Amino acid sequence: MSRHRTHRTVVTAAVAALALAACTPGSGGGGEDAPTTAGGETGGEVSTDISELGDVTLVVWDQEVRGGQNEQMEQLNAAFMERYPNVTIERNTMSNDDLTTTLRLALTGDDAPDVTQVNNSRSQMGQYVAAGQLRNLDDYAEAYGWTDRFSDSVLQNTRYSEDGVIFGEGSIWALPQVGEVVGVYYSKSKLAELGLEVPQTWAELGEQLATISEAGQTPLLLGNLDQWPAGHVFGPVQGAHVDPEEIRALGFGNEGASWETDENRAAAEELAAWVEAGYFNDGFNGADYDAVWQSFTEGEGVYLMAGSWLGPDIEAAMGEDAGFFAPPPTEAGGPKVTTGGTGIPFAITASSEVPDVGAAYIDFITSEEAMAVLAETGNMPVVETAEHMPDGGLQADIYAAYAEVTEEGALVPYLDWATPTMGDTLGQSLQSFLGGQLDVDGLLAALEADYSEFVASTQ
């Protein structure tokens, strides 16, 4: 049987199973003991049985526009409406940039959706929570058993205090579908030609970069024209030098940490040494991100540090030759630390008049059965990841890396989440640092200024 036909058969079965599993109100975890009185105010009673609410239109905004992303949404939406014939989903899908702009305007007016994907950074979710524009989901989390189904390492990415000041702790404001991990892509045949194997320690990785360079090849590829990609190289380097709890405080923008430490200095110095040794491709600071990773699939370079979201495209181009591993630990067999988190999660707006329907929808598209649909459409489930691991290929490597980091290591937040302005500060500072316009002291001072000024403003 062809791969395409196998994919379609399994997905159809998964959708059917999902619809059947949802036949019991609160099947996501709330069960018969869940509150059943219709409500919607934060902290009040909620209903997990939406079949008795009459005809309802649920307006959903998302940015799942790529092939497999769009496919899973279409299938899950159809299954939800089949389960609840009284609900019509009005889906509006757009690019991430368009969603960011449109949502910010809509939340201040009368045209906000009921359910929407919201970037969990301070510049978006944090500000919306502080402005009272999103609904606190703690009561639904209790009713549906979300804290049992989702690990703390996942839920921390959607937790904020009620005033939006503390990130990573507090109430739940959204739920994600997919997981993300930053790691290292490589060509299996190219590594074999060089007489190398997947490094087992961080020091071994560094030794390999030197070996590859001496062999006349480019050890690392990077396209940093848009500035943000360098953060996905610095993140794993930082993870090899800095305690994960320190990185979490810095990444979440919470008090009690500092950029100007010996450990962060060591990370910056190592990255600077890589640049000085010529380990990156020529002109990387002005190179286009997409063009560079595509050149990797065509045989350029040996290693590419990037996120799991490139997996389907890289596998389509390279087939079984593509491999992926989580950044190796400082000691063989030790815990692995890297940047990552979740895909953009789904939230309920404070203005929604049908929050019970919105919560049922979010529960449905993040259920265990939905995870099977996600996996079969080329997306990595944020929970039940190991259970849906492919039999082989690049995606199996990515699933394994995500499981290793989330279950046995530390998945630390994207550093640009820290403050409303850290995305620009981090991107511009790293680009200048890699280009030689900033030294280590200048880089750390710029990041510390943004972080410490924000933390002081929240006190």
Domain layout of the chain by residue ranges = 3-178+345-384, 180-341+398-457
Rounded CA-CA distance 370/376 in Å is 10
CB atoms within 10 A of CB 399: 24
* Number of alpha carbons in the 13 Å side-chain half-sphere of residue 406: 28
Predicted confidence at residue 387, as pLDDT, reads 86
Q: Rounded to 5 degrees, what angle do the CA atoms 230, 232, 233 make? A: 65
Predicted confidence at residue 383, as pLDDT, reads 87
What's at 239, amino acid-wise? G
Query: Residue 328 corresponds to which tokens in the numbers above?
Result: 């190796």
Predicted confidence at residue 32, as pLDDT, reads 37
Strand partners of residue 92:
61
Instruction: Determine if the pTM surpasses 0.85.
Output: no
Predicted confidence at residue 78, as pLDDT, reads 98
Q: What is the pLDDT along the chain (459 residues), one digit of tens a residue?
A: 222 223 333 444 455 555 544 443 333 333 333 333 333 344 568 999 999 899 999 999 999 987 888 999 999 999 999 999 999 999 999 998 899 999 999 999 889 999 999 999 998 999 999 999 999 999 999 999 999 999 888 899 999 999 999 999 999 999 999 999 999 999 999 999 999 999 999 999 999 999 999 999 999 999 999 999 999 999 999 999 999 999 999 999 999 999 999 999 999 999 999 999 999 999 999 999 999 999 999 999 999 999 998 998 899 999 999 999 999 999 999 999 999 989 999 999 999 999 999 999 999 999 999 999 999 888 899 988 888 989 899 999 999 999 899 888 999 999 999 999 999 999 999 999 999 999 999 999 999 999 999 999 988
Per CATH, which fold does 3-178+345-384 belong to? D-Maltodextrin-Binding Protein; domain 2 (3.40.190)
Q: Token pair 């949502």 is at which residue?
A: 103
Per CATH, which fold does 180-341+398-457 belong to? D-Maltodextrin-Binding Protein; domain 2 (3.40.190)
Rounded CA-CA distance 145/189 in Å is 46
Dihedral sign (CA 210, 212, 213, 218): negative
> Quick check: do 3-178+345-384 and 180-341+398-457 share a fold?
yes
113 near 106, Cβ under 8 Å?
Answer: yes
